[in-house]
Structure 1
C-alpha cells in the first residue's frame, strides 16, 4: 500500500517542517514550561548572530538552550539512527520483524556500554562508544554465523538467532548490573530502559557524525538495497555480491546502533515501527524510503520523549517504556497481518 506514491518531495518537505516545529515545542516542554513563542525567540537569538532584545529570563534561556534543546536533538538523532538501521536490516534480511533490537545488536551494544559504565567510563567517552559498537558488531557477527545454512543466510534463522542472543546478552547485562557498585545501580537501570535526559552539547558530536555518515552510506547503496529485496538470485543476476553486501550493511547498522546506544541506552521497537509506517506512505523504494524514515524516526522519538517527560510528571519515564507500549501492539499486529518470511 502506497498512500502518496507520486509525491515523495511533498512528504519530505512536510516531515522536515514538522520536525522543526516539534523540536521548538519540545524545547519548551517540561516541569518549568516555556511558551512556544518565547522558546522560538530564544533559539533564534542563539542561532542567528546579531543584537536581540531579550524578552525572557536568564533561567528560561538556560533551560531551553543548555538543557532541553540538547536532549531534543539527541532524541532526534537516536530516532533517525534506529529507523534507518531498521529499514536497512528489513531489506537486507527480507524480514518485516528485523530491527537492531530483535537481531541482538541493541542488546549487544547495551552489554558493551554497561560493562564500560560499570567499569568507570563516563558517557560520552570513547570507551563507552567503542564498547557499545564492539558489542553490537559481535552480536551481528554471531547472528550472521548462526543463521547460515548450507552457505546461505536464512531470514527466519537470523531472527531466531537474534532473539536467542538478545536473551543471552540481556542476562549478561543483568548480571553486571546487579553486581555493580551500589551507587551505580540506579543509573545503569535507567540507562538500560533508555533515556536522553542526560544529554549535553558534547554528547551530540559522536552520534551526529556516525548517523550522518551511515545515512549517507545507506542512501548511496539504495541500488543494492532495492535489489536484495527481490531475492538473492535476482540480486546476484543484477551484479550484487549478496553475502558481502549483507556483511557490509550489518557492520554499518552495528556502528549506527552502537553509537546511539552508548548515549541513550536500549530503546526498542523504533526500528521496527517507523520503517513500516513509512512504506505505507512512500512505498518500498529506498531512494524515497531512507530519507523519509530518517525524518520520521527523528519526529517519532522526539514525540516519545515529550510523552516520557509529561505522562507521569513530575517524575520522568524512561523512553524505552513508552516505545515498548507503542511498539509491542504494533509487533503483534504485524505478526497477524504479514508473513514472517519477507518484506512486502
Structure 2
C-alpha cells in the first residue's frame, strides 16, 4: 500500500504540477514554459523580488496571473470536487454507474440558475454571487427532497435513493426545459450555463470553492474505512460495527455539498464524477483510503486538461466545458454499462 501511495501519489502530484505549467503556456497569447516559470518565480519575494520582469514579458504577466492561473486553479478544484463526490456516491450506492448527478442535485441547481436568468435577476441581490448562492441553495434543497422521499421506516434505502433521484431529476429537468421554452431573449444564457464553463471566473470563485472541497474531502477521508466495509453489504458492515445509516447520510450530504458548490460556480459539467473514480480504481484498487485522495488529484488533472481543450481547440471560440466532458464521458459510460451487463449475465 505504501508503495502505491508513493508511486501514484507522487506521480499524480508531479503530473498535476507539469499540467499546470503546460496549460499556463497554452492560449491565444502563447508563452514558452521558461517564460511561464520565470513569471511565476518573480512572484516569490525570496527568489524574484529584487529583479524586474523583462519588458517583453511584462505584458503577459497580467494575462498569466489574473486570467489563466485563477481559471486553472478553479478547474482543479471543480474537478476534485466532482471526482470526490462521484467516489462518495459510488461507495454509498454501491453502483459503478452512480455519479454526482444521480440524486438530481445538478438539476436542482439548474432550476435556481435558470429562474434567475429567465427573469433577469442574475445580479439582483448579491451581484455576481447571486446565481452561485441561489443555485447552491436549490441544489441542497433537492437533496433534502430526495432523502425525504427515500426514507422508509426512518432508514435511507439505497434502491429508493436512486429511484427518488431519477424522479426528481426528471421533474426538475422538465422545469428547466419549460423555462427555456418561455425565454425569448436570454435562452442562450440559460443553455450556456447548463453546458458549463470556467470563462470569466477570477480568484474569488476559486477561493470561495476551497472550503467546500476541503470539508468534503475530510468527511470522505474520515469515512473511508466505513465505505470499504459498505462494499461488502449493509448487513455485513453493521456486523463489523459500522454505523451504516450515519455513514450513508454523512457521505451523501458531503458529496452533494461538493457537487452543489461546483455546479453553482461553473454550471453543469457532467461525467467527471463517473469517469475519474473508475480510472483511479484501475490504478490503485477499490480501497477508499487511497481512492479518496487520488480521486481529488486525478480529478483536478482531468478537469484541467478538459478545460484547456475547451478553450484552445477552436480558439478564439470556446467550446462549453460540459460538451468536452460529455464527449469523453459518454463512451466511457457506455463501456461501463456494457461491462455491467456482462457481469450480471
Instruction: Tell me if both proteins adopt one fold, taking TM over 0.5 as the criterion.
Output: yes
Q: Tell me how far 1:219 sits from its aligned partner.
A: 1.0
Separation of aligned partners in 1, 2:255 and 2:210: 15
Is the 1:124–1:263 Cα contact (8 Å) retained in structure 2?
A: no
Query: Which residue of structure 2 lines up, in the alignment, with residue 120 of structure 1?
Result: 121
The TM-score, its normalising length taken from structure 2, stands at 0.89
Q: Is 1:174 the equivalent of 2:170? A: no
Residue pairs, 1:30-45, within 5 angstroms: 30-45=27-42
Is the 2:93–2:158 Cα contact (8 Å) retained in structure 1?
A: yes
Structure 1 residues 160 and 339, CA, compared in 2 at 3 Å: closer, same or farther? farther
Query: Which residue of structure 1 lines up, in the alignment, with residue 96 of structure 2?
Result: 96
Residue among 106, 119, 138 paired with 1:135: 138
Residue pairs, 1:219-238, within 5 angstroms: 219-238=221-240
Is the 1:124–1:262 Cα contact (8 Å) retained in structure 2?
A: no
Q: Deviations over 1:178-210 (max 9, x none)?
A: 44572x443332221010012101111221111
Q: Tell me how far 1:125 sits from its aligned partner.
A: 5.2
Q: Tell me how far 1:36 sits from its aligned partner.
A: 1.8
The TM-score, its normalising length taken from structure 1, stands at 0.90
Q: Tell me how far 1:339 sits from its aligned partner.
A: 5.3
Query: Which residue of structure 2 lines up, in the alignment, with residue 318 of structure 1?
Result: 320
Separation of aligned partners in 1, 2:59 and 2:184: 35
Shifted more, 150-159 versus 79-88: the winner is 150-159
Shifted more, 234-243 versus 147-156: the winner is 147-156
Residue among 43, 48, 51 paired with 1:46: 43
Q: Is 1:165 the equivalent of 2:168? A: yes
Separation of aligned partners in 1, 2:188 and 2:342: 38
How large is the RMSD of aligned CA atoms in angstroms?
2.5
Structure 1 consecutive aligned stretches of length 4 or more whose deviation exceeds 6 Å: none
Q: Tell me how far 1:253 sits from its aligned partner.
A: 1.4
Separation of aligned partners in 1, 2:327 and 2:82: 17
Is the 2:103–2:161 Cα contact (8 Å) retained in structure 1?
A: yes
Q: Tell me how far 1:174 sits from its aligned partner.
A: 2.8
Q: Deviations over 1:249-279 (max 9, x none)?
A: 2211121111111111000000000001100
Q: Deviations over 1:88-113 (max 9, x none)?
A: 11001111111112331222122223
Is the 1:207–1:260 Cα contact (8 Å) retained in structure 2?
A: yes
Shifted more, 160-169 versus 92-101: the winner is 160-169
Structure 1 residues 155 and 313, CA, compared in 2 at 3 Å: closer, same or farther? same
Shifted more, 261-270 versus 171-180: the winner is 171-180
Query: Which residue of structure 2 lines up, in the alignment, with residue 111 of structure 1?
Result: 111
Separation of aligned partners in 1, 2:217 and 2:293: 8
Structure 1 residues 44 and 224, CA, compared in 2 at 3 Å: closer, same or farther? same
Is the 2:197–2:321 Cα contact (8 Å) retained in structure 1?
A: yes
Separation of aligned partners in 2, 1:188 and 1:219: 36
Structure 1 residues 171 and 48, CA, compared in 2 at 3 Å: closer, same or farther? farther
